[in-house]
Every structure is written in C-alpha cells, then in structure tokens.
Amino acid sequence: MLDKVAEYSQEVEAYNVSNVEELEQFRIRFLGSKNIIKDLFAAFKDVPNEQKKEFGQRLNELKKQAQEKFDSLQATIGQAKASVTAEQLDLTRPGYPIEVGARHPVSIVRNEIIEIFERIGFTISEGPEIEDDWHNFSALNFPEEHPARDMQDTFFIDNKQGESMALRTHTSSVQVRVMEGQKPPIRTISPGRVYRNEAISARSLSMFHQVEGLYVDKGVSFADMKQVIQYFAKEFFGKTKIRMRPSYFPFTEPSAEVDVYWGLETEADYRMTKGTGWLEIMGCGMVDPEVLKNCDIDPNTYSGFAFGMGLERIAAQRYGVDDIRYFLENDIRFLKQFKGAF
C-alpha cells in the first residue's frame, strides 16, 4: 500500500499538462469526486495496524501535493493563455473607419427653407399633429360640406368626448393658433408633418412634410407676397423668374399656384417640368378677411398673405428622385447620397 502511495506521488510530481483539457484530466484523476486517493483512503482498513499511522500521514501528504500541483499547473496554463491573447491583440493597428451619418434630404431642404425665411424676419412656429376641427378647417373658412373634410382626404380620430379630431391635413392649423395668440405684425413659418388619406404612389404619400408661411400686418399687399416668394425662389432654387396662376383655397382670396421657371436645357429638365420648363412649387394667397375675423384680427386694419409647400416634392425635384416613397424607406444606401450645408 505504501508503495502505491509513493507511485502516485511520483506520478503527481512528474505530471505535465499543455492545455485545459489535460489539466481537467489531472483534476479528475487526483482531486475529482471519484479520485484515486479516495480509493486508497477506502483501503485504509486493510492496512496492518502498525502501518496505519504512517499510511495516513503519507496519504494526507499526497492529497496536499496533488492540490498544490493542480494550482501550479493551472497558473502555468492561465499565463500561457494570457500571452496568446496578448499576441493576437495588436494595439497599434489602425481602427475600422466609422461612417459619418448624413441628414435626411427632407431635413436638409426644411432647414434651408427655414434659414432663408429667418433672414427676412420670419419666426418658426409649431403646433399639434392631432388637431381639432376648428384649427384645421372651420377657422380657415372651410364650409361644412367642403370635400377636403371628406373621409377620403382626412384621417379622422374617434375620441370619447365626441369632439371632432383629425390628423392635421396642413400646417395652416398652426397659423390659426399663432393668429389667435399673437397680435400683428406676424411673420412666421410653420414646418411640420401633415397627413392625408391618399393612395400611396411615386408622387403622393399619406404622411408628408410642409412648410407654410404667414405674414399679417397693416397694409400687406399682393405685391409684398410676390416679392417674398420671388426672393425665396432666387435663394432656394437660384431662379429669378416666377409666375402665378389663379387657384382656389378656402382661406385665401385671391389664391394662386406659384411656378418657378426651371429651364429646358437638359433631358432631365424636360422630364421634371413635363416639357414646359415650369415647376410648380407652392400655393399662396391673401388671407381671407373671414379667417382674420375668426382669429380676432380686424380685417379693416390688417391684411396678410400665406403660402404653403410640400417638402418631399421639392426635395425630389432638387435631387432628381423620381419616387418620393424612397424618402420613407430609410435605406441607408439611398440616404447617404445627400449632402447639404444644413
């Protein structure tokens, strides 16, 4: 029996491991729940009495030796592992390049428009996207039976109070709020999201962005409106020639559609202007006296003009995008092509 202990002791002494699996084998053999030292302890009863003391001591020594050996083997393997990681980790290697994000084309266009109007004293106003009937329609002189109120154009919202609420169909609603809350002179633009219940196609979306503008003061005339719009066309499109075509909006009288002369130099110009050279950019008009009255502004003292444009359309024209649905898909390959100063 003592020979057996000496044999195991030598085995422990000489044991060497080169990886974690071999270390585990050592642990199972000498320290595991069914290790061979335990077997020797079990054989204790067969040892002659006079040898029992020595056998016991030697077994305890063997047990200690095995544990110490295990600890030292483990330390060696751990070091080996650490040095491998250090070799693989090259701190001097240059990093992977990080792509810089780009602004969304609609945001670029919006910021540019805002900046252009800020330069001539317009402030920015915002309002809720869920609007009541008064701000979106009634105050703006929409008759009860006006087709724009129809279910086909407007997303109405059921609410428990029985109030008639809707997703705003234009940001003219914000202008009503400004006129209700401020006294003239008022010079403001309202950028924001608007919603219309329309079939989604390459040319129309059911959610899009607008910038609308409003100027109310004493003696504001149609000529002032023309000047401001011409200034905008020059700053934004770099074009000086505009024209106005008679149109209709319930909240302006007279009303007009504004076209900018884009030119017919390239094939793209033909496509974009449908062969006419003119590009429609916005609607505008002199604020209807009824609308001023609805907002407690005296139409005998004050007059004003308003205009409104859709940003997706303008961004599509500017960047030559032929399907405005791309603006909503958020495909990074599409979005990262646009660079703007804003």
Residue pair 338/105 in contact by the 8 Å Cβ criterion: yes
Q: Which residues pair with 130 in a beta bridge?
A: 167
Among 70, 122, 307, 326, binds ligand PHE (CB under 6 A): 307
Segment lying near ligand PHE (by CB under 6 A), choices 25-33, 51-59, 263-271, 279-287? 279-287
Residue pair 60/71 in contact by the 8 Å Cβ criterion: no
To the nearest 10°, the Cα dihedral for 234, 116, 119, 214?
100
Segment lying near ligand PHE (by CB under 6 A), choices 52-60, 249-257, 325-333, 334-342? 249-257
Closer CB to ligand PHE, 148 or 335, in the complex: 148
Residue pair 194/170 in contact by the 8 Å Cβ criterion: yes
Residue pair 176/306 in contact by the 8 Å Cβ criterion: no
Closer CB to ligand PHE, 62 or 297, in the complex: 297
Site for ligand PHE in 132-151 (CB under 6 A): none
306 touches ligand PHE (CB under 6 A): yes
Closer CB to ligand PHE, 69 or 170, in the complex: 170
Among 154, 188, 252, 273, binds ligand PHE (CB under 6 A): 252
Q: Give me the least distance between CB of 287 and ligand PHE, in Å please.
A: 8
Q: Rounded to an integer, what is the distance from CA 269 to the centroid of its chain? A: 32
- C-alpha to C-alpha distance for 329 and 176, rounded to whole angstroms: 33
Closer CB to ligand PHE, 252 or 273, in the complex: 252
Among 30, 40, 108, 212, binds ligand PHE (CB under 6 A): 212
Q: How many residues bind ligand PHE (CB under 6 A)?
A: 12
284 touches ligand PHE (CB under 6 A): yes
Other Cβ atoms closer than 10 A to 318: 17
Closer CB to ligand PHE, 70 or 307, in the complex: 307
Query: CA distances (Å), 134 to each of 139, 163, 252, in order?
Result: 5, 10, 17
- C-alpha to C-alpha distance for 128 and 131, rounded to whole angstroms: 6
Closer CB to ligand PHE, 5 or 113, in the complex: 113
In the chain, the amino acid numbered 283 is G
Closer CB to ligand PHE, 66 or 306, in the complex: 306
Q: Rounded to an integer, what is the distance from CA 63 to the centroid of its chain? A: 64
Q: Give me the least distance between CB of 165 and ligand PHE, in Å please.
A: 18
- C-alpha to C-alpha distance for 315 and 320, rounded to whole angstroms: 8
Query: Residue holding tokens 């066309």?
Result: 233
Site for ligand PHE in 155-184 (CB under 6 A): 170, 172
Quick one: which H or E segment has residue 181? helix 172-181
Segment lying near ligand PHE (by CB under 6 A), choices 102-110, 222-230, 267-275, 304-312? 304-312
Segment lying near ligand PHE (by CB under 6 A), choices 72-80, 227-235, 280-288, 327-335? 280-288
List interacting residues with ligand PHE (CB under 6 A): 170, 172, 212, 249, 252, 255, 283-285, 306-308
